[in-house]
Structure formats: structure tokens, C-alpha cells
């Protein structure tokens, strides 16, 4: 984001396919979103993805949008073989941590640096990882092995290591799903989870990795993403994404996160109502940017109507992220990359 330019719109949009349609091109030029997010439907080959990212960035000469992707490893990775490596799950590093903490941290940082390099080579500069979620027995498997484990202390250690690995490669991490999705008994893509745990329990488990993150000195630079989850002990009427009370008392208050916060996807079925209202309610609650992923043009037009310009904190954080996104990156040969990948695999197998 160029210093002194008019702030972009406080929204990140998905798109429909491997290339921009003319309708998308005109819409994105007019609306000037803060960024874009890619999914498997937008991915075919390295050259195609690189060209698509360059095309997105060419739409507005006064603003360089962020480009996001979900590349966690395991079930959630939009870039897949044969063109990209199959990265391990988060849980594999959590299990290694129980055997050999130092080896787990070194392997995870290297793994995420490798993921970061794959993204940076394509021009993608934000990865929606790491998860700070802590699954509990009986919870829906939407988090499952994506998490580093069921012990909040392990999650608290490994999540910052993941972030540092991405930063090593010039990619901005996104911590999610704030203030915790691990206790949800349903999938927020399909339903609205309601968590009835009391505040003492939430503080001891779900919130603990975020509290540990806030205590880090220095703290890794990161954006954050909300959870579409109701926590009845805080606000029984609204999911965190749309709850001013959750933002003021917990996310910005108790957990002291002062960075850019984006909503989870507004098109998920946990949220209801017209898309214009979904966007406006999320921004009014405290989100700096809203996220809309499915590429549906009618929905995107409605989201745009409910969205204004990025506010001062969002502008500040987007500008601060440029120090990571534009940093010079060390060139690595294919042989070196293969050796690093073997090192990660060896540590996961043998500790």
C-alpha cells in the first residue's frame, strides 16, 4: 500500500476461476479491495498462478493489494502436488514436540519457510496460518489435525514458530480463529457454533495461546482472523466476528491484539442476513477488513455496498506488513530445497 494514497476498501475478495473475467476486472478496478484470496479453483500451474497474481496487482497503479491463500499443510493447502509439495499437518509437529521440543520447533520453522518460499515465488504474500485453536474431546473435526494439539501450552509455543517461518520467507502470517474455534461442536462453514463454556475455562484453554502470543517480546508480526462462533459467557447473541463486546473486552482488551483483524469468510453459513449487513455488522463490531471468498459477483457487490475504506489501524498494519512482504529473499537452489524438505521429513519420523 503506497504511502499517501487513498485507502482501499476494507474487504478481501475471492475470484471465480483461473483468470479474471471481464466483470471481475471492472468490479475490482472500481471497488479497489484491500486484497484478494486464492482457492483451489484459482490454481492450475505455477506460471498460471503467477500471472493471475500479477494481473490482480495491475488493476490499480496506486495500490498494491495483499494476496492471501490458505496453505497450512495437511487437509488445507490450495497448492498441491505435482507442482507443490505436500506439507505435513499441524498435529504432526505437535506430536513431535512431545518427543523432542527443539526438533519440533526447528522442523516447523523450516517447513513454514519452505511453504513461504513457494508462496513468495508466486507473488502471494499472506498465508492464513497458523491456527491457535485448541480442539477439545467431542469437538467437530473442522479443526482436528490442523491444530498443533489439544494442549494449549504446546499450541502457544508452536504457533509463533510457524509465523516466524513464514516471515523468514517474506510472507505475512494470519493467526486464527480468534479467540478460538477448537471447542466448536459444529462446522462454521455450515452452521453457527455455540460455545457455552464459562470464562474461566475459556481463559485456561481457548484463549491461552492468544494470551501467550500477546506476552511475546518481540511479538511476530501477524494479521488475525475471527471465529464465527458464539461464546455465551461473553455475548450470547452474536458470533465473535460481529460482537463488539468480544472485540472490546476480549480480543482488543484482555488478549491485547492491536494488529489488523479480518473476518472469517462472510459467505459461510454460520452468518445470516443480507451480505451488505454481514459486512457492515462485522466492521462495526471491530473487524478492520472483511473477507468474502466464493467469487459470487452478486454477493461481492452486496458486500461492497456494506464496506467503506480501510480505517487508520488497518492502513497502519498494511503499511507495516510491507517490511515483510517486500524484504529481499535469499535464493535457494532446487537441490537445497529438496534437502530442507528431507530434513523436515526426517525430523517428523525420527525426532
pLDDT tens, 227-255? 999 999 999 999 999 999 999 999 999 99
Residue the block writes with cell 504432526: 92
> CA 283, CA 263: separation in Å to the nearest integer?
9
Rg of the Cα trace of the chain? Answer: 19
Task: Confirm whether 8 is domain-assigned.
Answer: no
Check the CA dihedral 305-307-310-311 and report its sign: positive
pLDDT at position 281 over 90 = yes
**DSSP-derived pairing of the beta strands 172-178 and 76-77:** unpaired
Q: Give the per-residue pLDDT at 349.
A: 83
Q: Are 90 and 154 in contact (CB under 8 A)?
A: no
**Which residue is it, cell 487508520?**
312
In a domain, 221, yes or no: yes
* Residue 63 pLDDT: 87
Q: How many CA atoms does the CB half-sphere of 351 hold within 13 Å?
A: 7
pLDDT value at position 330? 65
Domain that holds residue 192: 66-291+309-350
Residue 169 in any domain: the answer is yes
Q: What is the mean pLDDT of the chain?
A: 94
State residue 342's pLDDT score. 76
**260 is written with which cell numbers?**
489488523
| Predicted local confidence at residue 316, as pLDDT | 97
- Give the three-class secondary structure for 173: strand
Predicted local confidence at residue 343, as pLDDT: 78
Q: What pLDDT, on a 0 to 100 scale, did the predictor assign at position 333?
A: 59
Domain-located, residue 96: yes
What's the length of the chain? 351
Proportion of the chain above pLDDT 90, given as a percent:
89
* Contact indicator for 56, 12 with CB cutoff of 8 Å: no
Domain assignment of residue 341, yes or no: yes
φ/ψ (deg, to 5) at 302:
-70, -45
pLDDT over 70 at 317, yes or no: yes
Rounded distance, CA 227 to CA 202, Å? Answer: 14
pLDDT above 90 (res 346):
no
The owner of cell 460482537 is: 243
In a domain, 257, yes or no: yes
Per the structure, how many domains does the chain have? 1
| pLDDT computed for residue 61 by the predictor | 86
Average pLDDT over residues 137-148: 94
Query: Over 80: is that where the pLDDT of 1 sits?
Result: no
Q: How far apart are CA 318 and CA 260, in angstroms?
A: 8
pLDDT band at 335 (very low <50, low <70, confident <90, very high): low
Closest among 44, 75, 68 to 144, alpha carbons compared: 75
Residue 84: which CATH number? Answer: 3.20.20.300
Confidence category of residue 41, pLDDT binned at 50, 70, 90: very high
What CA–CA distances, in Å, run from 347 to 50, 72, 107, 113, 184?
A: 32, 18, 6, 16, 32
Average pLDDT, integer, range 91-101: 95
**HEC-encoded secondary structure of 260-304:** CEEEEECCCCCCCCCHHHHHHHHHHHCCCEEEECCCCHHHHHHHH
What average pLDDT does range 323-347 have in this prediction? Answer: 73
Q: What is the pLDDT of residues 159-186, one digit of tens each?
A: 999 999 999 999 999 999 999 999 999 9
Confidence of residue 73 (pLDDT cuts 50, 70, 90): very high
pLDDT score, position 228: 97
pLDDT on residue 194: 96
- 3 pLDDT exceeds 60? no
Specify if 226 maps to a domain: yes
Tell me what pLDDT residue 290 has. 98
The model's confidence at residue 4, banded by pLDDT at 50, 70 and 90, is low
Tens digit of each residue's pLDDT (9 = 90 or more) over 282-302: 999 999 999 999 999 999 999
Q: DSSP letters of 295-335?
A: --HHHHHHHHHT--B--HHHHHHHHHHHHHHTS------HH
Active site positions, annotated: 189, 264
Assess whether pLDDT exceeds 80 at residue 22: yes
CA distance to 19, 23, 36, 136, 207, per residue, from 56 (Å): 10, 13, 8, 40, 36
The answer to whether position 10 is within a domain reads no
Q: How far apart are CA 107 and CA 162, in angstroms?
A: 10
Amino acid at each position: 500500500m503506497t504511502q499517501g494514497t487513498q485507502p482501499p476498501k476494507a474487504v478481501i475478495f475471492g475470484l471465480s476461476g483461473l483468470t479474471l473475467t471481464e466483470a471481475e476486472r471492472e468490479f475490482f478496478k472500481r471497488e479497489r479491495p484491500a486484497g484478494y484470496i486464492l482457492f483451489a479453483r484459482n490454481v492450475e500451474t505455477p506460471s498460471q498462478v503467477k500471472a493471475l497474481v500479477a494481473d490482480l496487482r495491475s488493476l490499480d497503479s496506486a495500490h498494491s493489494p495483499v494476496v492471501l491463500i490458505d496453505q497450512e499443510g495437511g487437509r488445507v493447502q490450495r497448492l498441491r502436488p505435482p507442482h507443490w509439495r505436500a506439507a505435513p499437518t499441524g498435529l504432526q509437529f505437535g506430536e513431535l514436540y512431545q518427543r523432542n521440543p527443539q526438533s519440533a520447533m526447528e522442523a516447523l520453522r523450516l517447513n513454514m519457510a519452505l511453504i513461504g518460499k513457494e508462496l513468495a515465488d508466486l507473488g502471494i504474500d499472506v498465508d492464513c496460518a497458523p491456527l491457535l485453536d485448541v480442539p477439545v474431546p467431542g469437538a467437530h473435526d473442522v479443526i482436528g489435525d490442523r491444530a498443533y494439539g489439544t494442549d494449549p501450552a504446546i499450541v502457544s509455543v508452536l504457533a509463533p514458530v510457524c509465523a516466524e517461518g513464514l516471515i523468514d520467507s517474506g510472507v505475512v502470517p494470519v493467526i486464527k480463529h480468534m479467540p478460538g474455534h477448537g471447542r466448536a461442536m459444529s462446522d462454521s462453514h455450515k452452521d453457527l457454533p455455540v460455545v457455552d463454556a464459562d470464562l474461566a475455562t475459556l481463559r485456561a484453554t481457548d484463549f491461552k495461546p492468544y494470551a501467550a502470543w500477546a506476552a511475546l517480546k518481540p511479538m511476530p508480526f501477524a494479521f488475525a482472523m475471527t471465529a464465527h462462533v458464539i461464546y455465551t459467557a461473553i455475548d450470547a447473541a452474536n458470533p465473535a466476528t460481529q460482537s463488539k463486546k468480544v472485540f472490546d473486552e476480549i480480543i482488543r482488551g484482555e488478549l491485547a491484539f492491536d494488529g489488523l483483524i479480518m473476518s472469517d469468510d462472510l459467505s459461510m453459513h454460520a452468518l445470516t442476513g443480507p451480505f451488505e449487513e454481514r459486512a457492515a455488522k462485522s466492521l462495526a463490531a471491530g473487524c478492520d477488513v472483511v473477507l468474502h471468498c466464493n467469487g459470487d459477483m452478486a454477493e461481492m457487490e452486496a458486500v461492497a455496498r456494506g464496506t467503506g475504506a480501510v480505517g487508520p489501524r488497518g492502513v497502519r498494519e498494511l503499511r507495516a506488513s510491507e517490511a515483510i512482504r517486500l524484504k529481499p529473499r535469499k535464493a535457494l537452489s532446487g537441490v537445497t530445497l529438496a534437502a530442507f524438505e528431507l530434513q523436515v521429513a526426517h525430523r517428523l519420523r525420527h525426532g
